[in-house]
Amino acid sequence: MAPPRSKESKAAGKAATGEEREGLSRYHVEALARALKTLAVFDEAQPEMTLGQVSERTGSNPATALRVISTLRDLGLLSARADSGRYFLSARSARLGFSSFVNQDLVTVAYPILRALFRRLGDSVYFGMLAGAEAVDILTFRRNEVVGAFGQRFPLYCTPGGKVALAYCDRNLRRSILRSLSFEAFTPNTPDRARLEAELEQVAEQGYAVSIEELSVGIAGAAAPILGRNGELLAYVVSSGPTMRMTENHIHEVVVPMLLETAGRISQLVRYATRDSAGE
Amino acid sequence: MPESPTPSLLPRRSRYFIDSVGRGFEILRIIAESPEPLTITEVAAKTGMVASTVLRFVETLRDLDFLAEGLVSGTYQPGPAAIRTGYLALQTSPLLALAQPVLEALYRNLGETVNMAVLDSRHIVYLARFKQQDMRSISVHAGSRIPAHCTALGKVMLAQHDPEEVAALYEGYDFPAFTEATTASLDRLLASLEQVRAQGFALQEQELVTGHQAQAVPVFDAGGGVAAAIGTVSARSRDQASLAAERSALTEAAAAIGASLPAGFEA
């Protein structure tokens, strides 16, 4: 959903899942966490950074940031410009996104289609996946901004993307997530367990989800699932905005049909892309 | 070999190297390359680490979304942050931005599948591919990582390194053989690399996929270091003259890309 999530709301989301993951898990390997956070600070808006910028954005002191950067360079994940010495994600780190089941081809295929949707709708578009008991946005298209911050997490039970993810994920996973959820009423309209369960059935039947002021007052949106070859959930696409524009009527007449069309096209292309292609 | 313009093939460990970071990414790589989500026990078996250690690393990777739980509870797969990082690496790659229009033109001129890759230890990582639709068989996507020794792209890059360094890199390596023609021993690889070095390109027949013919040339930066490789793959068998013509188109494209790369370029 639209509002950028602060640390507080991230913590709220975590608390709402009822998991023992207050901020960081008790198993945390601190140095590894720092390295992962360092990779995550590079984005499209700022693909190249100096040591000072990395240290500032990760919140570690320059000496620590340098150790982490050196290690990431040794591992071939960060490169440095020959001219400026600035760091950037190495071409080799493209492999991080590759796997046989969740493929970055999905993101590559989806990107232009989502951008086109964003231009047509004019309201924010989000592309995300299920991660544990939360929905995480991978691509964000907001007004005046192409790709926004990564990693916004949302509670599943009161966001359109979360509801679609729940309705379409594996049955056992859904059962265990539902068991772990504790329902916090963010607004008078936040669903409780009974309403959510009834709604999930409806979502699966109609193929999309709608949330009106369920997480924040004044914000509404809808979402549709992107499904793989065997009907498995790969990702979801959301559009949301202020209720002034996102009226119920607008959602049903304009937003939902476009979301369904977009999700359908991405699903189809992904299935095609993963069907056959040639190796060397 | 004196002061090579190409950085060493062997794993680099600066004095700052943080061991636990290396182990964390090793676990991530093993999970990403597995055809299905893995359990903690399976990761422990593949890495030789103790399960409780693996668990700590996996939890950390999961906290930051680099891993996500698989459909079967207790199994792990790459998470959204890993996917996003890989995607951004391609999207923001200075090399790829330079090469993309050149490769696209090459693809249109030749009508064959055109690829670009960089070397990652004993593997190559594909950065771009312009694909002929009529080819079947194994799946290759940008970001995918396959053994260097059985690809023309991998060989042209390996050939730029000192044979002793290649021998050290492959010491004790169990060469996977994909077809009857795969270069499946160190001796055969070194002999093949010597030939590639002498002729300046790699041409190979059906080492990865039976029936496929691949050619590749290196992309050099201004200092003569090898930054990447570009190549073609064809399911058709071509005569010597058309292979040679294709090669000169590849060499020209490689020079056009390399012309913009400063000495000491890192991909």
The residue with greater pLDDT, A279 or B198, is: B198
At residue A45's C-alpha, the angle toward residues A41 and A47, to 5°, is 60
Report which secondary-structure segment, H or E, holds A203: helix A193-206
B180-189 confidence digits (pLDDT tens): 677 778 999 9
In 3D, which of A102, A234, A110, A105 has the Cα closest to residue A169?
A234
Contact of B76 with B87, CB cutoff 8 Å: no
Given CB atoms, is B61 within the 8 Å cutoff of chain A? yes
Please tell me the distance in Å from A110's CA to the nearest CA on chain B. 12
Interface test with A, best of B25, B54, B232 (most A CBs within 10 A): B25
Average pLDDT over residues B15-20: 91
User: What phi, psi does B87 have (nearest 5°)?
Assistant: -65, -45
- What pLDDT, on a 0 to 100 scale, did the predictor assign at position A76? 93
Distance CA B114, CA B136 (A): 15
Distance between start and end Cα atoms, chain B: 23
Query: Where is mean pLDDT largest: A3-12, B167-176, B200-209, B246-255?
Result: B246-255
Contact of B61 with B81, CB cutoff 8 Å: no
At residue B257's C-alpha, the angle toward residues B254 and B258, to 5°, is 80
Interface test with B, best of A96, A108, A227 (most B CBs within 10 A): A96
Please answer yes or no on whether A104 and B142 come within 8 Å at the CB atom. Answer: yes
Q: What sign results for the dihedral spanned by CA atoms A105, B27, B120, B183?
A: negative
Residue B77 identity (one-letter amino acid): Q
Please answer yes or no on whether A70 and B55 come within 8 Å at the CB atom. Answer: no
Contact of B209 with B179, CB cutoff 8 Å: yes
Question: Looking at the partner chain, which of A28, A74, A76 has a beta carbon nearest the beta carbon of B13?
Answer: A74
Question: Looking at the partner chain, which of A31, A35, A70 has a beta carbon nearest the beta carbon of B14?
Answer: A70
Chain A CB contacts of B139 below 8 Å: 274, 276-277, 279
Chain B CB contacts of A81 below 8 Å: 94, 266
- What pLDDT, on a 0 to 100 scale, did the predictor assign at position B4? 64
The half-sphere exposure of A189 on its side-chain side, counting CA atoms within 13 A, is: 13
**Coil/strand/helix, residue A138:** strand
Distance CA A195, CA B75 (A): 30
Contact of B110 with B121, CB cutoff 8 Å: no
Chain B CB contacts of A74 below 8 Å: 11-14, 17, 22
User: Is the per-residue pLDDT at B6 higher than 90?
Assistant: no
Please answer yes or no on whether A276 and B36 come within 8 Å at the CB atom. Answer: no
Please answer yes or no on whether B135 and A278 come within 8 Å at the CB atom. Answer: yes
DSSP code, position A159: S
Please answer yes or no on whether B139 and A40 come within 8 Å at the CB atom. Answer: no
Report which secondary-structure segment, H or E, holds A129: strand A124-131
Given CB atoms, is B56 within the 8 Å cutoff of chain A? yes
Q: Residue A239 corresponds to which tokens in the numbers above?
A: 């559009």
- The DSSP line for A39-83 is HHT--SS---B-HHHHHHHHT--HHHHHHHHHHHHHTTSEEE-TT
Distance between start and end Cα atoms, chain A: 42
- The DSSP line for A165-196 is HHHHS-HHHHHHHHHH-----SSTT---HHHH
Given CB atoms, is B107 within the 8 Å cutoff of chain A? no
Q: What is the 3-state secondary structure (H, E, C) of chain B?
A: CCCCCCCCCCCCCCCCCCHHHHHHHHHHHHHHHCCCCEEHHHHHHHHCCCHHHHHHHHHHHHHCCCEEECCCCCEEEECHHHHHHHHHHHHCCHHHHHHHHHHHHHHHHHCCEEEEEEEECCEEEEEEEECCCCCCCCCCCCCCEEEHHHCHHHHHHHCCCCHHHHHHHCCCCCCCCCCCCCCCCHHHHHHHHHHHHHHCCEEEECCCCCCCEEEEEEEECCCCCEEEEEEEEECCCCCHHHHHHHHHHHHHHHHHHHCCCCCCCCC
Residue A169 forms beta bridges with which residues? none
Please tell me the distance in Å from A220's CA to the nearest CA on chain B. 24
The residue with greater pLDDT, A141 or B142, is: A141
Residue B200: CB partners within 8 Å, gap ≥ 6? Answer: B217, B251
Distance CA B36, CA A41 (A): 29
Given CB atoms, is B28 within the 8 Å cutoff of chain A? yes
- What pLDDT, on a 0 to 100 scale, did the predictor assign at position A103? 52
Please answer yes or no on whether A138 and B66 come within 8 Å at the CB atom. Answer: no
Please tell me the distance in Å from A165's CA to the nearest CA on chain B. 13
Q: What number is the ipTM of this complex?
A: 0.90
Q: How many CB atoms lie within 10 A of CB A269?
A: 17
- Dihedral, CA atoms, A202, A203, A204, A206, nearest 10 degrees? 80
pLDDT by 10-residue block (mean), chain A, 280 residues: 38 37 61 95 91 95 95 95 94 78 64 87 87 72 52 79 92 85 91 95 96 92 91 90 93 97 89 50
DSSP code, position A90: -
Question: Looking at the partner chain, which of B59, B113, B266 has a beta carbon nearest the beta carbon of A90?
Answer: B266
Question: Looking at the partner chain, which of B17, B86, B132 has a beta carbon nearest the beta carbon of A93?
Answer: B86
- What pLDDT, on a 0 to 100 scale, did the predictor assign at position B136? 38
Average pLDDT over residues B64-89: 82
Question: Looking at the partner chain, which of B59, B126, B266 has a beta carbon nearest the beta carbon of A79?
Answer: B266
Please tell me the distance in Å from A172's CA to the nearest CA on chain B. 8
How high is the mean pLDDT of chain B? 87
Nearest residue in chain A measured CA to CA from B65:
A131
Chain A CB contacts of B87 below 8 Å: 97, 104, 107-108, 138
Distance CA B163, CA A48 (A): 35
Given CB atoms, is B53 within the 8 Å cutoff of chain A? no
Average pLDDT over residues B46-73: 89
Please tell me the distance in Å from A147's CA to the nearest CA on chain B. 11
Distance CA A66, CA A3 (A): 33
The half-sphere exposure of A225 on its side-chain side, counting CA atoms within 13 A, is: 24
Q: Residue A223 corresponds to which tokens in the numbers above?
A: 């979402």
The reply to whether the predicted model has a pTM over 0.80 is: no
Contact of B40 with B62, CB cutoff 8 Å: no
- What pLDDT, on a 0 to 100 scale, did the predictor assign at position A199? 96
Report which secondary-structure segment, H or E, holds A269: helix A256-273
A151: left (phi over 0), alpha (psi -120 to 50) or beta: left
Residue A141: CB partners within 8 Å, gap ≥ 6? Answer: A114, A115, A118, A124, A125, A126, A147, A148
Question: Looking at the partner chain, which of B84, B96, B144 has a beta carbon nearest the beta carbon of A98?
Answer: B144
